[in-house]
Structure 1
């Protein structure tokens, strides 16, 4: 049932012509109904909000779906919000991975059509891979491609020594998921989703994971949930089952190494580079480390009054990153 405050907010927002607030409160009611087991009623409310949004504003408008543009109160300590403009073609990733990402983006854009046939677009994604392989950047891509805000969850603020507080903060996050459509990034999710079978685990951590699994299971919002980890082997098996798609990010191969460097040095002269020397020097480095090395070589070039990148500068920068890794 709706609370008095929610009913009051509905009437007030309608009287003031505040469509975004009216939509937000209605989505809160839908989330509450879903948690109470009233899935059909919850879906009817969400469909109603979607119809109203389509009739009152362009689907790409951020203002119509982002009442939490600046999270306030306790949410302000749990979420960082940004509005990325990154696109998929800005990244250099495995072709097979790009195809899967494109498919998920298509599903999101054609979500209404899929629902007409009883199908649900993928929206719970688990990214695995070594640090610097593009997991966080891909979360920014989803926000940029779909014109949605990116909410990065601050796990250091969620996890406390008191289980009740942690569960309460997680509930705040999932209430925000229902209220404000966006891309919600749980980075280093192994802090929440560690394997419950580990002998050195403690009861409190297991209960935190159980709460997280429950919230994932009950969530029926339209937001996109992205969880990322550098250590998939630490995750509990039950967590994998809660996600629509698990995508692995690998270290770049020879072709991608060249593509990453050329992409970052697009404003410089690279035609005379010796890739036979550069590519072996980049083996074992992540996307982010290669980008950093390319930027360091570019800065040296500019400070020397040149615009042509020298092979020696790039190889030295790559070897420096390799030794620092």
Structure 2
């Protein structure tokens, strides 16, 4: 198990390095006249030259990357070109908010997706068809439309939750719960049908195997067969799809946070990308990339617990 863990951590570290290199050069090559944008459109050539020298934009691209990477190794993620604020403090100060939304959405998706998938596979009938319809609808409707619909229904019409804004947990736990409920629901609804469909398919596949028929022939209760034996074998694909949904939810959170005015990574991602603020964008890319790699590592470890054969890969 230890060698399995070391392999996964090493591959994750390599992937993060490749991501950092690719993202940096793509951002720099795709950002034209960045010094002019920082100085302002009315700035003259002298002011632009000062900005270029200040941020090292007058140096060769490889040298710029080397300086950024060397600072990163020491824990310095640099400063925003536009606000002058430290990138690390800016990004990490907002990461907890986005992670809260993502984890809450994945938990909701996992719990209800597994329940719906198992019931659909074992009971079939109308519920089975509903799950399949939900899967199609969830994939077809964009997340921002679901968010807007939830705001119109539960915030504007019923006045159960605030339409926008965020309350820190330390300030008011009840207010915090109210402020994150609609964003979490908006992120979870789009993923729920897909997870339920995946679980349904995995459970149906396991139910048709010989060892399950043998267990039934021995007179074991159906509930015990399903929850003790079938779910253990069907858990691998369900975990994989939940890991994938976490990545999708992180991407969708960028837009959903903007709609609900949540101070997570979403608003600064849109702003910094539009401005071409390379240090800030790189900080966001690294943090989100590390989160995705960490989630995949957790999924791999859980897969290894469920199925020891996975540890050999």
Fold shared, TM-score > 0.5 on shorter chain: no
Q: TM-score, normalised by structure 1?
A: 0.22
Q: Which has the higher helix share?
A: 2
Q: Work out which of the two has the higher radius of gyration on C-alpha atoms and give 1 or 2.
A: 2
Per the normalisation by structure 2, the TM-score is: 0.23
Kindly indicate whether structure 1 or structure 2 has the higher relative contact order, using CA contacts under 8 Å at least 6 residues apart: 2
* Structure with the bigger percentage of strand: 1
